[in-house]
Amino acid sequence: MFENLREQPADKILALMQMYRDDPRTDKIDLGVGVYKNAEGITPVMRAVKAAEQRIWETQETKAYTGLAGDPAYADAMIGLILGDSVARGNVAAVATPGGTGACRQAFELIRMANPAARVFVSDPTWPNHLSILKYLGIETVPYRYFDSETRGVNFDGMIEDLKTARAGDVVLLHGCCHNPTGANLNSVEWQAVIDLINENGLVAMIDIAYQGFGDGLEEDAKATRLVAASVKECMIAASCSKNFGVYRERTGLLMAISADAGQTGLNQQTLAFLNRQNYSFPPDHGARVVTEILTDDALRADWAAELENVRLSMLGLRQNLADELQRLTGSDRFAFIAQHRGMFSRIGTSPELVERLRTEHGIYMVGDSRMNIAGLNDVTVPILAKAIVDVGV
């Protein structure tokens, strides 16, 4: 049997991580891997997470399974964080998942179960694992234009033109905030236009929100997701706690299925629980319990939100510093988009050849499509990166 296996395509980001580890240079800079790092290059455990874990350690009396959907208190807390009061709780079915990736996988499984003929329209570019999972599941994908390599902003006219080709029942996969890999986001007027198109053409919205709090703040970053959820007939939301709670290795996510008809929620909930059972049975609980402890305790929540805000402002500061340094070196504002982007990533819009030169000549590692992790920088490395970008002629 095993002789029939074939090599699978290498994950480009994982391969880049290995190349970085193997590089003996001491002045190398890692802008590839998608994790937040502080100025010392550490992905820290947040204060509120440590405090919540201490409480759980002291009070938890069992490691027995939770339900198939996970702890209901976790779902309630996350729904409140993401949706606020934009949608009635009775219209939302939700299950805990192994990270945001697990939430996306379960959403795609739900699409395939509910409408095998559905196509999923995916932004060009998008997070590579979206495409990988959809391909593995045999779900047809259709790219829609998103990133304008000239302006480094959103090609909104192209996006709308492409989405108009979707058929009733097709799914539109959207990034709730801090678009990965580009950092370029829709504005409020553009979001409303997308919602109008979805409703007019009978499409289904799916939102992947993995960076709430990393862009313009917890509430501001949730606005688009809340608007979509409140405005369409039905939608799915895949959420991750990896970034904003820093619990990467705990694999903590949530999938929501929202219907304007509250009578549909029971069947939606049953189906999501069924899919959990088929894929991994009971979801992991530790990270979810930590998140619940934080979100349901006023003091812990306030401390978490304050630390998250410092993280956000730190990344905005790095963006501005890099844009300013590039303007100083070039005498041009053509890199101003870096300060305008939001989240951990920016796609600087250059060729794979120049990205390769950044790596070989300067020890700067970023993904071949020129996505760089802003959180991989600090005050020392910003001018080094800026000079390298100018040296290779980006």
pLDDT at 34: 85
Which string of b and e fits 290-307 if b means at least 16 CB within 10 Å? bbbbbbebeebbebbbeb
pLDDT at 8 over 90: no
Contacts of 153 (CB under 8 A, 6+ apart): 147, 184, 337, 340
Reply yes or no on whether 324 is catalytic.
no
Report, as an integer, the average pLDDT of 61-68. Answer: 96
pLDDT at 61: 96
Q: What is the CATH number of domain 65-296?
A: 3.40.640.10
Reply yes or no on whether 63 is catalytic.
no
pLDDT at 9: 82
SS3 track for 86-127: CCCHHHEEEEEEEHHHHHHHHHHHHHHHHCCCCCEEEEECCC
The two three-digit tokens of residue 378, written as one number = 């600090």
Band of pLDDT at residue 33, cut at 50, 70 and 90: confident
pLDDT at 11: 80
Report, as an integer, the average pLDDT of 73-94. Answer: 98
Owner of token pair 């978490």: 304
DSSP state at residue 168: T
Burial class (CB in 10 A: 0-12, 13-18, 19+), 192: middle
Q: Which of 48, 103, 210, 222 is catalytic?
A: 210
pLDDT at 13: 81
CA gyration radius for the chain? Answer: 21
pLDDT at 335: 95
pLDDT at 14 over 90: no
Position 26, amino acid: T
The two three-digit tokens of residue 265, written as one number = 């929620």
β pairing state of 92-98 and 252-259: antiparallel
Report, as an integer, the average pLDDT of 256-279. Answer: 97
pLDDT at 394: 87
β pairing state of 147-148 and 364-365: unpaired
pLDDT at 173: 98
Position 64, amino acid: A
Instruction: Report pTM.
Output: 0.96
pLDDT, tens digit (0-9, with 9 covering 90-100), for 277-291 = 999 999 999 999 999
Q: Which of 77, 127, 166, 191 is catalytic?
A: 127
pLDDT at 92: 98
Residues of the chain with CATH 3.90.1150.10: 11-46+300-392
Q: Which of 208, 221, 285, 369 is catalytic?
A: 208
Q: What is the DSSP string of 66-79?
A: --TT--HHHHHHHH
Band of pLDDT at residue 323, cut at 50, 70 and 90: very high
DSSP state at residue 260: S
pLDDT at 268 over 90: yes
Residues of the chain with CATH 3.40.640.10: 65-296
Reply yes or no on whether 57 is catalytic.
no
Q: What is the CATH number of domain 11-46+300-392?
A: 3.90.1150.10
Which of 37-41, 55-59, 360-364 is least confident? 37-41
Report, as an integer, the average pLDDT of 82-107. Answer: 98
Is the peptide bond between 128 and the residue preceding it cis, with omega within 30 degrees of 0? no
Reply yes or no on whether 223 is catalytic.
no
Q: State what percent of residues in the chain have pLDDT above 70.
A: 100
Which of 31-40, 103-112, 230-239, 376-385 is least confident? 31-40
pLDDT at 290: 98
How far apart CA 8 and CA 23 sit, in angstroms, is 25
Q: CA-CA distances (angstroms) from residue 355 to 32, 339, 352, 391? A: 11, 20, 5, 12
In 3D space, the residue among 350, 323, 317, 346 whose CA is nearest the CA of residue 336 turns out to be 323
Report, as an integer, the average pLDDT of 300-326. Answer: 97
pLDDT at 48: 98
Report, as an integer, the average pLDDT of 260-282. Answer: 97
Which of 24-38, 102-116, 183-197, 248-262 is least confident? 24-38
pLDDT at 362: 95
Q: What angle do CA 197, 200, 202 make, to 5 degrees?
A: 100
